[in-house]
A and B are shown apart, each in its own frame.
Chain A
Amino acid sequence: MHIVVCVKQVPNTTQVRINPETNTLVRDGVESIMNPFDENALEMALQLKEKHAGTKVTVLTMGPPQAAEVLKEAVGRGADAVVLLCDRAFAGSDTWATSYALSTAIGKLERPDLVLFGKQAIDGDTAQVGPGVADWLGIPCIAYARKIEIAGGKAAVERAYEDGYEKLEVALPCALTVLKEANVPRMASLRGKMAAKKLGIAPMTAEASGADPARLGLNASPTRVVKIFSPPPKTGGVKWQGEEPAVMAQRLADTLRERKLI
């Protein structure tokens, strides 16, 4: 079985701020990490590899040269092969152009049985790239997967909802976007880290991917970002503390009634 996992390098959002004048993310000095949901997708692939002998896991990312770091992290955890799709031609691609670019790169690989994505990236939060790639590849996609079992060329997948889940059966090849609750991502092993350190990663260019240049980059992207802004922090408010719960509850109810909220 061949599993392709698409991952993204994202800024560690616990450290990100927004420049109030330009409305863009301040990425200076912010550490880059593997998108947390992609870690769950990779873990799902590695667990399938442990279960099904002969499985190969390829990890693919599109990004600048430093995105090689997330691929090294993936090798440290047990990925067999990595692909860095890297070219100026990709710069500024939105989810549509990114999905297209990733699908062409996957087309250059050994035909996958499974293509896995994290549910969404924590920087853009669109959750569009996984289903987009599946569409370009012409394979079915199950979003929000939390469990998978593979047998007889089919996958039994649980798709989670807020209030329950669906059990779906799908023929391979297929694509999945994976939830956090699917698993606990492993940490890299010592031997994996050592192998990753020695690893040289030659980028796959736009030309090598065979992608149509007219469908790549900012100009080919239909999305236009009008404005990014931080919602103004909440101010004011009233805080009561220290009294008997019954007194506090009474005061809360009176206040809500006064303001005609209940």
Chain B
Amino acid sequence: MAELNYGLSELAQEIRGMVREFAESRVKPVRAELDETGHFPTEILRELGKMDLMGLYIPAEYGGTFEGDSMPNLIAVEELSRICIGVSVSFAANGLGADPILIGASEEQKKKYLPPLASGEKWAAYALTEPNAGSDAGSIRTTAVRKGDKYILNGTKQWITNGGEADIYTVFAVTDKNRGARGVSCFIVEKGMPGFKFGKKENKLGIRASATRELIFEDCEVPAANLIGREGTGFIWAMKTFDVSRPGIAAQAVGLAQGALDEAVLYAKVREQFGKPIIANQGLSWMLADMATKVETARALTYATVQSIDRGSKDYSKFSAMCKVYASDVAMQVTTDAVQVFGGYGYMKEYPVEKMMRDAKILQIYEGTNQIQRDIIGLALNKEYGAVAKK
């Protein structure tokens, strides 16, 4: 198949081949079952760990294979997403959970917590959202009170991806309620720490293979050594994490949309009505052409954003938001169109496209709704053009 040359490294291309083969042979045969049962893809993640694919974003000194190129990890997410984003989010959420450690943790904390994540021996999760703090993440209510060499955490986190399955959690809690977002701190909490429990597993519209649970902290004791950075820096780690993690959601969207496009084109070539394959109808082939064009533009913007971050660009928050909002809207449109191409068959669970359409919706919601992304882009525009106007 013709592909644009994005100047990918040899490693990134190798990863594309490895993960594509893995997803086709290991994930595709079980994706419908995982969707139906909501079983967590434990075996799949274990195998990815054995293949050294859980540490693509972690530097070599902490046991991973990252050497300044974020594309291999991004492509791993994209290729898994092509087959199942319930699996790919369970994979990618490890990176999200680890990001505050990579960005803000001390050398000692990194040496302790990153190697088992890189090997895939342990899994991570990121815990910010609460029942009353979604888009308004600064209004979280979970508290952390210093007591000797410990912090005592109290509160509930909601909809935590990999909740209950992960071993290492980066948890955001208020250490100074008088300071708003500047009173938020980030802690590394391990499964099994006293007072740390899990709530029920959520029953979801899509990404059903992924585990989404409540985290409950009841006088949970966390060593003071597990505070990331200083008190009050948590919200900075939270936002910086999103700036680097949003292209990952875009990669999920690109992969998912590509998967839906693949299914739709193949079906349109074999499905015959009125004595000819339906792809021979101009109305339908133009629809497929639009789908393909959207997928490629989403991919191009996503890759360009990540490559720009890798090249040292400082001001990338706007572009991270753009690729997330654009690619996830594309994924929603393309998966919906794929169901349309399949017609009645597309609505049936025997075919994979209805799952893809259900799965796509979350991409417009999590890691900042698409409305929040547009806010970020709008704020950036206002700021950038404002500076020009003053001159």
Query: Is B one of A's binding partners?
Result: yes
Docked pose: A175 CA to B22 CA in angstroms: 31
Docked pose: A191 CA to B47 CA in angstroms: 14
Docked pose: A193 CA to B53 CA in angstroms: 12
Stretch at the interface among B13-21, B164-172, B314-322: B13-21
Across-interface contacts of B50 in A (CB, < 8 A): 186, 189
Q: B47 near A190 (CB under 8 angstroms)?
A: no
Q: B residues 3-26 with Cβ under 8 Å of A?
A: 14-15, 18, 21-22, 25-26
Q: Is A150 an interface residue (CB 8 A)?
A: no
Q: A189 near B21 (CB under 8 angstroms)?
A: no
Shortest beta-carbon distance, A195 to chain B, in Å?
A: 11
Docked pose: A187 CA to B25 CA in angstroms: 10
Docked pose: A193 CA to B51 CA in angstroms: 10
Q: Is A91 an interface residue (CB 8 A)?
A: no
Number of A residues near B (Cβ < 8 Å) is 8
Q: A190 near B21 (CB under 8 angstroms)?
A: no
Q: A residues within 8 Å of B by Cβ?
A: 186-193
Q: A190 near B22 (CB under 8 angstroms)?
A: no
Nearest CB in chain A to that of B25: its residue: A187
Docked pose: A191 CA to B14 CA in angstroms: 11
Shortest beta-carbon distance, B299 to chain A, in Å?
A: 23
Nearest CB in chain A to that of B10: its residue: A197
The 3 closest A-B pairs by CB, nearest first: A190-B52, A189-B51, A189-B52
Docked pose: A195 CA to B168 CA in angstroms: 31
Q: B22 near A191 (CB under 8 angstroms)?
A: no
Docked pose: A188 CA to B17 CA in angstroms: 12
Across-interface contacts of B65 in A (CB, < 8 A): 190-191
* 6 sample A-B contacts, Cβ–Cβ < 8 Å, listed by A number: A186-B51, A187-B25, A187-B26, A187-B47, A190-B51, A193-B14
Shortest beta-carbon distance, B252 to chain A, in Å?
A: 21
Across-interface contacts of A190 in B (CB, < 8 A): 14-15, 18, 51-53, 65
Query: From DSSP, what is the main secondary structure of chain B's interface residues?
Result: helix
Shortest beta-carbon distance, A16 to chain B, in Å?
A: 21
A-B contacts besides A189-B50, A192-B52, 8 pairs, CB < 8 Å:
A187-B18, A187-B25, A187-B26, A189-B51, A190-B18, A190-B52, A191-B65, A193-B14
Shortest beta-carbon distance, B81 to chain A, in Å?
A: 19
Mark each residue of chain B from 144 to 167: 1 if its CB lies under 8 Å from any CB of chain A, else 0.
000000000000000000000000
Nearest CB in chain A to that of B21: its residue: A187
Q: B residues 26-52 with Cβ under 8 Å of A?
A: 26, 47, 50-52
Docked pose: A190 CA to B11 CA in angstroms: 9
Nearest CB in chain A to that of B49: its residue: A189
Across-interface contacts of A193 in B (CB, < 8 A): 14, 18
Docked pose: A193 CA to B72 CA in angstroms: 15
Across-interface contacts of B52 in A (CB, < 8 A): 189-192
Shortest beta-carbon distance, B165 to chain A, in Å?
A: 22
Docked pose: A188 CA to B65 CA in angstroms: 16
Shortest beta-carbon distance, B20 to chain A, in Å?
A: 11
Docked pose: A188 CA to B52 CA in angstroms: 9
Nearest CB in chain A to that of B65: its residue: A190
Docked pose: A189 CA to B14 CA in angstroms: 11
Shortest beta-carbon distance, A186 to chain B, in Å?
A: 6
Shortest beta-carbon distance, A247 to chain B, in Å?
A: 27
Across-interface contacts of A189 in B (CB, < 8 A): 50-52
Nearest CB in chain A to that of B76: its residue: A190
Q: B47 near A186 (CB under 8 angstroms)?
A: yes
Docked pose: A201 CA to B21 CA in angstroms: 26
Docked pose: A262 CA to B383 CA in angstroms: 87
Nearest CB in chain A to that of B55: its residue: A190
Docked pose: A190 CA to B47 CA in angstroms: 12
Docked pose: A193 CA to B50 CA in angstroms: 13
Docked pose: A191 CA to B51 CA in angstroms: 8
Docked pose: A12 CA to B343 CA in angstroms: 36
Q: B residues 108-139 with Cβ under 8 Å of A?
A: none
Across-interface contacts of A187 in B (CB, < 8 A): 18, 21-22, 25-26, 47, 51
Q: B residues 292-336 with Cβ under 8 Å of A?
A: none
Residue with the greatest number of chain B CB neighbours at <10 A, chosen from A187, A188, A191, A192:
A187
Docked pose: A190 CA to B15 CA in angstroms: 8
Docked pose: A184 CA to B14 CA in angstroms: 22
Across-interface contacts of A186 in B (CB, < 8 A): 47, 50-51
Docked pose: A193 CA to B11 CA in angstroms: 11
Across-interface contacts of B21 in A (CB, < 8 A): 187
